[in-house]
Amino acid sequence: FDMFVLAFVERIFRPTYRKDDFVLGKKLGEGAFGVVYRVSSTKKPSSKKERDLVLKKATEYGAVEIWMNERVRRACASSCADFVYGFFESNSKKGSEYWLIWRFEGESTLADLMQSKEFPYNVETMILGEVQDLPKGLERENKIIQTIMRQLLFALDGLHSTGIVHRDIKPQNIIFSEGSRTFKIIDLGAAADLRVGINYIPKEFLLDPRYAAPEQYIMSTQTPSAPSAPVATALSPVLWQMNLPDRFDIYSTGLIFLQMAFPGLRTDSGLIQFNRQLKRYDYDLVAWRKSVEPRAAADLRRGFELLDLDGGIGWELLTSMVRYKARQRISAKAALAHPYFDREGLLALSFMQ
């Protein structure tokens, strides 16, 4: 009952919008399924911050995206960009559209930040407040990358604990929130909520092949087709345990970790070439390393050096994320408890070895 009252009160006080409440600003993105603009709201009374918004005009898939964002704002709000409102807009010329509104979180995605020669130093003050007193070098870079990874896995754990698999985790879909000084996940357009069977298997074609795990379908094809909602609610924890669909996102997050450690893999061509090599070694990172390390250029060697710090704890985490079999990949929650994130844990690892 309390939850019901809360939802009701929240609903009343949350601003609602219609089409005429926005002045379009810069176009931020355009995909096959929608266009995204920075907009300013003309609705009064509102502060400057409240007027600074992002609008996505989406095709029919926008319905699912609104549903996912509503669910996230109730269950794990800090994981994703702050969703404000979504509505259906029928348009006689363009057919119908879904309009989705978020707070403008900030200027840069992780992809933008990773493009800079300065990365990861350009992120340092953004997330850590002030510059560390360590000299520039591997230790310091590792610390920054560690913080980014912790924030990503924290956001992902929120989604997964809610029953949502994102399915399109990539640096372009990770925004730096200037307000909370953390990275948040955006773009739930391809997400699936397995607890209620929403967007169960369809739209595999949406997936970005550069970051997709090798399994084509996140649920086994032997799983019967999506049960209707009430049945799915009861069954899906079992289906979840059977298929571990969340590990699809873990693989993508592992690739982001890899790109942060190896500057050469930050370009499209670098990543595509890496994917080709990894496939050749049957998705075995250790085998890949054995083959490339002896004749590696300085840049690649430096990446291995970074991951080998503190007894190879970073490499250990990376190899437990990027694995062929979903079942063998670590979960977001377990990854957060990995000794990589924990100075005390270093000792634990030295005992394990």
Cis amide prior to 120 (ω within 30 degrees): yes
% helix / strand / coil in the chain, to the nearest 5?
55, 15, 30
Per-residue x/- track, 105-144, ligand ADP (CB under 6 A): xx--x-----------------------------------
Q: Which amino acid, residue 288? A: W
Q: Which is nearer to ligand ADP, 36 or 260 (CB)?
A: 36
Q: Work out the end-to-end distance of the chain between its first and last CA atoms, rounded to an integer number of angstroms.
A: 52
Beta-bridge partner residues of 41: 22
Position 187 contacts Mg ion (CB under 5 A): yes
Q: Does 173 bind Mg ion (CB under 5 A)?
A: yes
Considering only residues 17, 99, 104, 251, which one is a binding residue for ligand ADP as defined by CB under 6 A? 104
Judged by beta carbon distances under 5 to 8 A according to partner kind, the member of ligand ADP, Mg ion, none in contact with residue 122 is none
- Dig out the tokens for 20 from the structure: 């005429």
Give SS3 for 83.
strand
Site residues for ligand ADP, window 51-70 (CB under 6 A)? 54, 56
Cα angle, residue 252 at apex, residues 145 and 213 outer, rounded to 5°: 150
Q: Which of 21, 82, 157, 168 is catalytic?
A: 168
Indicate the residue among 56 and 247 with the shorter CB distance to ligand ADP.
Answer: 56
Closest to Mg ion by CB, 29 or 214? 29
d(CA 279, CA 283): 5
d(CA 121, CA 342): 21
Catalytic status, residue 168: yes
Quote the least distance from Cβ 220 to ligand ADP, whole Å. Answer: 28
Indicate the helix (H) or strand (E) that contains 127. helix 121-128
Interaction site with Mg ion (CB under 5 A): 173, 187
Binding residues for ligand ADP, rule: CB under 6 A, are: 28-29, 31, 33-34, 36, 54, 56, 81, 102-106, 109, 172-173, 175, 186-187, 189
- List the catalytic residues: 168
